[in-house]
Structure 1
Amino acid sequence: MRHRHFWWISSTLMLVLNPAYADAERGQYTLEQAIDTALSNNPELGIMQARIEQANAQLGESLASFYPQIKASLSYQHSDNPAQAFSMIIAQRRLSFAGNDFNHPGGVDNYRPQVTATYSLFRGGQDYYRKQAAELGIETSELEKAATRNQLVNHVTAAYYGELAAMEAHEVSRRSITAVQSELDQSRIRFDAGTVLKSDVLSLEVQLAEAKDAEIQTANAIELAQSMLKTLLGLSTNEAFAINSTQQAALPEAPAVFDELLNQALSSHPELKAAEKRVAIAEQQLKVAQAAHLPRADAFVSYGSDSKDLAFSSNRDNVSAGVMLEVDVFSGFATQERIKKAEHELTATQETVRQTRLRIENQLKSAQLKLQEALSSAEVSRVAVQSAEEALRLVNEQRQAGVVTVTRYIEAEVARDKAHARQINARFDALRAEAELKQATGFWQ
Structure 2
Amino acid sequence: MIGNKCKCCGSRYIRQGFLGQRKFPDLGSADPLSCSFVQTPYMAAFLYRLSFLSALAIAAHGVTPPTAIAELAEATTAEPTPTVAQATTPPATTPTTTPAPGPVKEVVPDANLLKELQANPNPFQLPNQPNQVKTEALQPLTLEQALNLARLNNPQIQVRQLQVQQRQAALRGTEAALYPTLGLQGTAGYQQNGTRLNVTEGTPTQPTGSSLFTTLGESSIRATLNLNYTIFDFVRGAQLAASRDQVTQAELDLEAALEDLQLTVSEAYYRLQNADQLVRIARESVVASERSLKDAEALFRAGVGTQFDVLRQQVQLAQDQQNLVDSIGNQDKARRALVQALNLPQNVNVLTADPVELAAPWNLSLDESIVLAFQNRPELEREVLQRNISYNQAQAARGQVLPQLGLQASYGVNGAINSNLRSGSQALTFPSPTLTNTSSYNYSIGLVLNVPLFDGGLANANAQQQELNGQIAEQNFVLTRNQIRTDVETAFYDLQTNLANIGTTRKAVEQAREALRLARLRFQAGVGTQTEVIDSQRDLTRAEANALNAITAYNLALARIKRAVSNVNNLARAGG
Q: Into which bin does the TM-score normalised by the smaller protein fall? A: 0.7 to 0.9
User: Deviation at 1:307?
Assistant: 7.1
* 1:216 to 2:325 alignment: yes
Counterpart contact for 1:293–1:328, Cα < 8 Å: yes
* 1:114 to 2:238 alignment: no
Distance 1:76 1:295, change over 3 A: farther
Report the counterpart of residue 267 of structure 1 in structure 2: 375
Distance 1:287 1:23, change over 3 A: farther
Higher relative contact order (CA 8 A, sep 6+): 1
Q: Which amino acid aligns with 2:294?
A: D
Counterpart contact for 1:388–1:416, Cα < 8 Å: yes
* 1:392 to 2:516 alignment: yes
Report the counterpart of residue 389 of structure 2 in structure 1: 281
Partners of 1:189 and 1:220 lie apart in 2 by 34
- What are the Cα deviations for residues 246-299 of structure 1, in whole angstroms up to 9, with x where unaligned? x24325536643321111011111121222222222222222223334310110
Two-structure CA RMSD over aligned residues (Å): 2.8
Report the counterpart of residue 89 of structure 1 in structure 2: none
Partners of 1:269 and 1:380 lie apart in 2 by 35
Report the counterpart of residue 404 of structure 2 in structure 1: 296
- What are the Cα deviations for residues 72-122 of structure 1, in whole angstroms up to 9, with x where unaligned? 335799xxxxxxxxxxxxxxxxxxxxxxxxxxxxxx999864332100011
Report the counterpart of residue 435 of structure 1 in structure 2: 559
Question: After the TM superposition, which parts of structure 1 deviate over 4 Å for at least 4 consecutive aligned residues?
Answer: 74-77, 108-113, 305-310
Partners of 2:173 and 2:349 lie apart in 1 by 48
User: Deviation at 1:233?
Assistant: 2.3
Counterpart contact for 1:301–1:320, Cα < 8 Å: yes
User: Deviation at 1:173?
Assistant: 0.7
* 1:162 to 2:271 alignment: yes
- What are the Cα deviations for residues 151-188 of structure 1, in whole angstroms up to 9, with x where unaligned? 00111110001011011111111111111101111211
Give unpaired runs (5+ residues) of structure 2.
Answer: 1-113, 119-137, 190-217, 419-436, 570-576
Name the stretch that deviates more: 365-374 or 282-291. Answer: 282-291
> Equivalences for 1:330-409 in 2 at 5 Å?
330-409=454-533
Counterpart contact for 2:242–2:392, Cα < 8 Å: yes
Report the counterpart of residue 25 of structure 2 in structure 1: none
* 1:231 to 2:340 alignment: yes
Greater share of residues in helix: 1
User: Deviation at 1:204?
Assistant: 0.3
> Equivalences for 1:81-120 in 2 at 5 Å?
113-120=223-230
Distance 1:314 1:184, change over 3 A: farther
- What are the Cα deviations for residues 340-370 of structure 1, in whole angstroms up to 9, with x where unaligned? 1121111122122122212212211221122
Corresponding residue SS for 1:328: coil
Partners of 1:371 and 1:298 lie apart in 2 by 64
Report the counterpart of residue 86 of structure 1 in structure 2: none
Q: Which amino acid aligns with 1:289?
A: A
Report the counterpart of residue 80 of structure 1 in structure 2: none
Partners of 2:449 and 2:475 lie apart in 1 by 40
> Equivalences for 1:186-265 in 2 at 5 Å?
186-239=295-348, 241-245=350-354, 247-253=355-361, 256-265=364-373
Corresponding residue SS for 1:443: coil
> Equivalences for 1:10-25 in 2 at 5 Å?
24=117
Distance 1:23 1:434, change over 3 A: farther
Corresponding residue SS for 2:439: helix
Report the counterpart of residue 447 of structure 2 in structure 1: 323
Name the stretch that deviates more: 151-160 or 248-257. Answer: 248-257
User: Deviation at 1:35?
Assistant: 0.7
Counterpart contact for 1:22–1:43, Cα < 8 Å: no
Partners of 2:314 and 2:563 lie apart in 1 by 47
Counterpart contact for 2:223–2:414, Cα < 8 Å: yes
* 1:51 to 2:160 alignment: no
Counterpart contact for 2:411–2:443, Cα < 8 Å: yes
Counterpart contact for 1:295–1:325, Cα < 8 Å: yes
Counterpart contact for 2:117–2:345, Cα < 8 Å: no
User: How many percent identity over aligned positions?
Assistant: 26
Report the counterpart of residue 141 of structure 2 in structure 1: 29
Name the stretch that deviates more: 22-31 or 357-366. Answer: 22-31
Question: Which of residues 233, 237, 245 in structure 2 aligns to 1:123?
Answer: 233
Distance 1:163 1:152, change over 3 A: same
- What are the Cα deviations for residues 299-346 of structure 1, in whole angstroms up to 9, with x where unaligned? 011233567899xx8823322221110112211111211211121111
Report the counterpart of residue 540 of structure 2 in structure 1: 416
Partners of 1:350 and 1:282 lie apart in 2 by 11
Superposition TM-score, scaled by structure 2 size: 0.64
Corresponding residue SS for 2:225: strand
Partners of 1:309 and 1:153 lie apart in 2 by 75
Report the counterpart of residue 60 of structure 1 in structure 2: 172
Partners of 1:348 and 1:212 lie apart in 2 by 56
User: Deviation at 1:390?
Assistant: 1.5
User: Deviation at 1:425?
Assistant: 1.0
- What are the Cα deviations for residues 378-412 of structure 1, in whole angstroms up to 9, with x where unaligned? 22212211211111111111111111111111011
Partners of 1:444 and 1:259 lie apart in 2 by 15
Counterpart contact for 1:150–1:444, Cα < 8 Å: no
Partners of 1:376 and 1:442 lie apart in 2 by 25
Partners of 1:256 and 1:56 lie apart in 2 by 37
Partners of 1:321 and 1:336 lie apart in 2 by 34
Report the counterpart of residue 104 of structure 1 in structure 2: none
Distance 1:41 1:314, change over 3 A: farther
Distance 1:288 1:150, change over 3 A: same
Report the counterpart of residue 6 of structure 1 in structure 2: none
Corresponding residue SS for 1:28: strand
